[in-house]
Amino acid sequence: MYIPFEQIPQSARVWIYQANRTISDTEINEIENILKPAVSQWAAHGAALLASVKVLYNRFVVIALDENQNEASGCSIDASTRWFKELGNRYSIDFFDRSQAYIDGDEIKAFSIFQPKKAIESGLISAETIIFVNNNNIHTLADLSSQWKVRASESYLKRFFNNVGSLA
């Protein structure tokens, strides 16, 4: 069953799907209109799941599930993954992008996770750059609110910065 994102409890489990490009406002409306009915029908072993969906920063689609009602199953998670494969095909978006997203002014940009040192050396990001943590530590909506956006120097990238913020 779909409920508005604002009504999902902070304990809700989340899945973050990062797009490989900016999602236009028109696409956001269409994607949310496709996903809301899918979420409304989402079930685990025949039990309805209480969930929501929201596009954040025109780059990330978040599915939130209130597992106090019913927990997701392997099959229900597989079903949600299929939604994003289908949406990706329809909109030419890779929702399984694993590049490192960061905030640059009012834009969300990304660099290869295999080239963090190059991104720092080239000045693409600094110790103060806000990045979106893309790891398995973001389990709940509360985690998303408190741990998803961090300074590069407070993330796995910290090893590339020394105490004064220059390269180590």
Chain segment 60-87, per-residue pLDDT in tens? 999 999 999 999 999 999 999 999 999 9
User: Residue 7 and residue 66: Cα distance in Å, rounded?
Assistant: 10
Largest CA distance in the chain: 55
Chain segment 6-49, per-residue pLDDT in tens? 999 999 999 999 999 999 999 999 999 999 999 999 999 999 99
Task: Supply the pTM of this predicted model.
Answer: 0.91
Query: In the structure, what pLDDT confidence band is assigned to residue 136 with cuts at 50, 70 and 90?
Result: low
Model pLDDT, residue 163 = 41
Report CA dihedral (16, 54, 61, 75) to the nearest 10 degrees. 60
What mean pLDDT do residues 103-117 have? Answer: 93
User: Residue 23 and residue 57: Cα distance in Å, rounded?
Assistant: 9
User: Residue 111 and residue 46: Cα distance in Å, rounded?
Assistant: 41
User: Residue 54 and residue 29: Cα distance in Å, rounded?
Assistant: 10
Instruction: Name all domains of the chain by residue range, CATH numbers in brackets.
Output: 5-91 (3.30.1360), 100-160 (no CATH)
